[in-house]
Structure 1
Amino acid sequence: MAEPIQAITLSPVEDPQQEGEWLRATLQQWLDQEFLPETVNQEIAERAAQVFVRHRMEGENDLGSLVIAIVTEMQAFDFSQSFYSEFAVANAVSDLILQSLGIDNRCCGQGEEEE
């Protein structure tokens, strides 16, 4: 039987402004590199960082819950001028945070060199 995926709990937020700025800048860089640099990427990154920081300041430290909050709240964002969706943004946030924590977020042998 497969083992359940363990929840990832972030330490309580110490500097919400710094955390939000890091996420905004890192997410915008990812958005710009993944497809094309677009003006809307800045708006997307700002909004996602706002949602993330607000929930962190409300005491949410579970990464899964934070990702769901981003998906839910980004549904109101107009993605019509973007290649992205609320799901892509929330997944990117999750991946970026996992990378910053040094957690390997690849599955099923992704990125492994063949022997």
Structure 2
Amino acid sequence: MMALSVAAACSVLPPLGARPARASRPQRPALAIAHPCRRRSVQAAAAARPEDEIEPVPPALLSALSSEDELQQEAGWLSDMIQCWLDEEWAAQELLEVHAQLGAATGQAYVRLRRQEGVSEMGDLVLGLATELMTSFDFMPTFTSAFEVSNKATELLMLRGGVTCSCSDPGAIARYEAALAADRQQ
């Protein structure tokens, strides 16, 4: 066995606090041409004229509710729709009660946001519902999250209001309402 002298050992070891050398992949040379998306936006900005009017996209608004009864009916409908959606997505028997609780929590949060916070835009509703549900509901036993539920709630309200969403199932509401009607008849 060969013994190393202190000087030899120190020359092999890196200094204290130094990062060990890593094998890294070779760096790509910087491209002389800008990314195509950036190039287009630069070209568009250069082509824009001060007299061009750019209209902002109007916010998607929630339906106007004229009474407390309408608000409660809408919240009950939303609660039922969320429960049906969850039951359809994750049909395990042990999750049905959790889905009912999550639907009810969504309806309660919806009422609070509409009544107390005065939420009237879909974007505000998504963020408000997600925040409310994150703080008021335990998602541990579910296979979903507060943002997924708030996005679905907004999607369902938009579909109910006649707004077509490119990523949604237009037949979902009819299917959920039929399932609810069948459950009520039993």
CA contact 1:13–1:56 (8 Å) conserved in 2: no
1:25 counterpart letter in structure 2: D
| C-alpha distance in structure 2 between counterparts of 1:106 and 1:54, whole Å | 29
Cross-structure match for 2:99:
41
Cross-structure match for 1:66:
125
CA contact 1:8–1:62 (8 Å) conserved in 2: yes
Cross-structure match for 1:82:
142
Pairwise CA RMSD of aligned residues? Answer: 2.1
SS of 2:105 mapped into structure 1: helix
SS of 2:111 mapped into structure 1: helix
| C-alpha distance in structure 1 between counterparts of 2:101 and 2:162, whole Å | 27
Match of 2:108 among 39, 50, 59: 50
* 1:4 to partner: Cα distance: 5.9
Q: Work out whether 1:13 is the aligned partner of 2:72.
A: no
* 1:25 to partner: Cα distance: 0.8
Match of 2:165 among 102, 105, 110: 105
User: How many matched pairs?
Assistant: 108
Q: Which string of whole-angstrom CA distances, capped at 9 and with x for unpartnered residues, describes residues 68-106 of structure 1?
A: 011111112211110111011011101111110121111
| C-alpha distance in structure 2 between counterparts of 1:4 and 1:85, whole Å | 31
Q: What is the TM-score when the length of structure 1 is the normalising length?
A: 0.83
Q: Which string of whole-angstrom CA distances, capped at 9 and with x for unpartnered residues, describes residues 20-75 of structure 1?
A: 11111111111111122521111111111111111111321111101101111111
Which range moved further: 25-34 or 9-18? 9-18
Structure 2 gap ranges (5+): 1-40, 42-54, 170-186
